[in-house]
Chains A and B, each alone.
Chain A
Amino acid sequence: MSKIILETRGLTKHYGGVHALDDANFILHEGEHVAVVGDNGAGKSTFVRQVTAVEQRTSGEVIFDGQPVHFSGPLEARQSGIETVFQTLALADDLDVPSNLFLGRELFKFKLGPFSWLDRKTMRERTMEALATTAVKIPNVDNPIRNMSGGQRQCVSIARTAAFASKLVIMDEPTAALGVQETAQVENIIRGLKERGIPMILISHNLRQVFDLVDRIVVFRRGRIVASLRKDETDGNDIVSYITGVKGGSDATYA
C-alpha cells in the first residue's frame, strides 16, 4: 500500500458532556479519495474541524504527512498543505473573485507589512487560469461575488481549494446547495484532483455521488467510525445499514 498521508489515532472531541467524536481511527493513503458519510450529528463535521484545527481536539493524535501535528488553527493546517472547503462558505461577499481566491495569501509587488502593495494583475491572471481549468462560468470576475448565484459562489470556493491544493483536500458537503449542472461541475473538479493524485476527504450525503467519486467510504455514527469499506466491496444498502445502525454495533453503549 502506498504512503499514508493522514492518520488519526483515538481522535476525540467532547463539547462539555456531549461526545461529538469518540476514538476516531482514520487512515488516508496518498492519492486516495475517501468519502465520509453519516447521519446529521454523526460527527463528520466535528471530525473535519479537529483535523483542520478549526477546533482543538480533546484527545488523540493526528499524523499528517508522516509527522504528528498539533495545528494552532486552520491557517497553520492550510500552510501545511490541508485545503478545506467549509460547509459555511468562507468567502467575503464584497470582494471580487481574485480577492477571494487569494484571501489570506495575496501576492505582492513589494512587501511593507500591512501596507504591502498587491499584485492585482498577476492575481487576476492566475484566477482566470484557475477558473478555466475548472470550467466554472463566472460572468465577470471583477464583480463582488455578492451578485453571484449560490452555485457560482460555491464554485469560486472550490476553485480556490483546487487551485491551491497541495497535499490534502477536504470538502464538507460541497454540493449541498447546488443545482444539477453546478453539481456536475464540482464533481468534475473533484475528478481533476484525483487525476492530479491529490488525496481528498469528501463529506457528502449523496450516496450516488460518493460511489461515483471515491475509492473508500467511511461511515460515522453517533461520534464513532463504524465502518470503512472499499467501494467495490459494498453497495448503497450496505452503507445505509451502517448509517442507520442496522449494522455495525448496537446503540446500547450510548443509551
Chain B
Amino acid sequence: MAEATHGLGGLKYDPTKRTRAPEWNVFGALVLIVLIFEILNRMQGGSFLFNMRDNVDAIFNQQRLDIMILQVAIIGIIALGVTQVIIIGGIDLSSGSVVGATAMVTMSFAQTAMVNGNPNPKAIFGDWAMDLPVIVPIVIGLACGLFAGLINGLLVAYTKIPPFIATLGVMVSARGVARWWSNGQPVSFPTETYGTLANGDLLGGMTFGLLSWQGQNPAVIFVLLAILFHVIMTYTLYGKRSYAIGSNEAAARMSGINTDRHKVLVYAIAGLLAAVAAVLLTSKNLTAQAGMGVMYELDAIAMAVIGGVSLAGGRGSILGTVLGAAIFSVIISGFTSIKLDAYYQEMVKGAIIVGAVVLDQWRQRKRTRG
C-alpha cells in the first residue's frame, strides 16, 4: 500500500488508487491515429490536419475538418442514443431503418407546393400538406422516431425477447415502411425553412477559426445534444439507473428500480435521437429516400464501441462515444487523404470494430483477474 493513506475513522483513502478514466485511453488513441495520418500524409508531401497552400490564409486544412465534422455529426446523434441503449445492456439495430422511415414521413409534411412555378412533382399529399409551418414536419418526425423507439422498448421490456431480435424486427419493418410510404419514390422539394434546419447556421456563421462551410447546424446540434446527454448520464437519476441496470439488472430491480419502465424510456430516447438525425439528414439533402440510413445503426454502434462503451453493458460514456465518433471520422477521412481505395476502407472499418470489441473483452478479462 502506498504511503499517502490517511484515515477517516477506519476508512483508508489512497488517491493513487483512483482508476484513470477510460476516456483518456480513447483520447490517446485519437491523438495517435491523427498523428499516424499526419505522418502518412507528410510522406506523400501533404498534410492531414494543416493547411499547406500558400494562397490560403488558414492554419488548418479546413476543407477536411469540415467534411470530418459533418460526417460525424448526423450519425453521431444516432450514436448518442445507441450509447445509452448499450449502457443498459441492450442493443439497437433499428436506428438506421428508423432514420429511413422517419425521413420519408417527415419530408412528406415538409414539401412546398410550387417548384420553379410548377406544382411539386414529388407531392405525396394534397395541397393541405403543402408549405406547412416548419414545426409540423419536425414534430411529426420526432413522433415517428419516438413511436419506433417505444416499440423497441416495449418489446424488450415486456416480451423479454433479446434486444438483438426485437430491434432486428423493427429494423426490417421500419425499412418496409420507408419503401411502402411512396412506393419507393423519393420525396423531395421541401420548404425553404425546412432546408435551413441543417443548412443554416445556429451560431450565425461563427467559425472559431476552424470551420468554413455554410450550415454547421448538424455539428452544432450534435455537440449540444452530446453535452445535454453527458450531463443527464452523469448527474441525474436517469444515468445512475442506466448504469445500474446495465451493470446488474437483478440488483437494480431489487433496489426498487422499475427496470422495465426505464428500458422503454431509454429506447424511446434512442428513437427520438434517430428521428433528429433523420430530420437533419433530409434537410441537408433536401430530399428523402427509402434507402436513407442504411448501415447507420452499425456505424453508430461502432462509434460507441470504439469510444469504450462495453457491449456487456454498464460501462462507457457519452464523452467516450463522441471521441469514438471522432476516431471513426478521422479514420475515414484519413483513408481518403492517403488515397486508399473505398473498398479497403470498408474492410479496415470492419476490422477496427472487431478490434475495439476484442480490446473491450480483453480489458474485462484483465479486470476480473484483478
Contacts and interface: CB of A to CB of B under 8 A. Distances in A.
Given A86-B254, A115-B232, A136-B11, 9 more contacts: A75-B256, A90-B248, A94-B246, A105-B256, A114-B237, A118-B240, A120-B235, A142-B18, A143-B17
Interface stretch (A29-37, A55-63, A125-133, A220-228): A125-133
Interface in A72-123: 74-75, 78-79, 86, 88-95, 99, 103-106, 108, 112, 114-118, 120
A139 B15 CA distance: 8
Contacts of A86: 254
B250 A116 contact: no
Contacts of A213: none
A139 B262 CA distance: 32
Contacts of B252: 92, 103-104
B312 to A, nearest CB: 9
B273 to A, nearest CB: 16
Contacts of B50: none
A146 interface: yes
B232 A143 contact: no
A78 B238 contact: no
A202 B14 CA distance: 33
B247 interface: yes
A91 B10 contact: no
Interface in B256-278: 256-257, 262, 265
A108 B238 CA distance: 12
A203 B216 CA distance: 63
Contacts of B243: 92, 94-95, 99
Contacts of B72: none
Contact of B12 (A79, A120, A139, A149): A139
Nearest to A120: B235
A44 B181 CA distance: 60
Interface string B13-47: 11101110000000000000000000000000000
Contact of B18 (A91, A104, A137, A143): A143
B8 interface: yes
29 contacts: A54-B254, A74-B254, A74-B256, A75-B255, A75-B256, A90-B255, A91-B248, A92-B243, A93-B248, A94-B314, A99-B240, A103-B244, A103-B255, A103-B257, A104-B255, A104-B257, A114-B241, A114-B265, A115-B236, A117-B235, A132-B8, A132-B10, A134-B10, A137-B11, A139-B13, A140-B13, A140-B18, A146-B368, A147-B370
A78 B238 CA distance: 22
B315 interface: yes
A88 B250 contact: yes
Interface size class of B (residues with CB under 8 A): 35 or more
Contacts of A117: 235-236
Contacts of A118: 235-237, 240
Interface size class of A (residues with CB under 8 A): 35 or more
Contacts of A88: 250
B61 to A, nearest CB: 39
Interface string A137-163: 111111110110100000000000000
Nearest to A137: B12
A94 B232 contact: no
Contacts of A138: 11-12
Given A104-B256, A132-B9, A143-B18, A99 B244 contact: yes
Contacts of B247: 92-95
Interface of B is mostly: helix
A104 B251 CA distance: 10
Nearest to B245: A92
Contacts of B15: 140
B238 A115 contact: yes
A139 B236 contact: no
B367 interface: yes
A140 B5 CA distance: 10
A108 B232 CA distance: 14
Given A74-B254, A94-B247, A138-B11, A114 B238 contact: yes
A207 B75 CA distance: 61
A116 B14 CA distance: 31
A116 B231 CA distance: 12
Contacts of B255: 75, 90, 103-105
A177 interface: no
A-B complex: 4 closest residue pairs judged by Cβ atoms = A132-B9, A104-B255, A135-B10, A75-B256
A206 B348 CA distance: 58
Interface centre among B11, B243, B367 (most CB of A within 10 A): B11
A75 B258 CA distance: 10
Nearest to A188: B10
B250 A95 contact: no
B66 to A, nearest CB: 34
B251 A90 contact: yes
Nearest to A135: B10
A30 to B, nearest CB: 26
A249 B108 CA distance: 79
Interface string B221-246: 00000000000100111101101101
B240 A93 contact: no
A136 to B, nearest CB: 7
A116 B241 CA distance: 11
Contacts of B265: 114
A88 B236 CA distance: 27
B10 A95 contact: no
A95 B256 contact: no
Contacts of A93: 247-248, 314
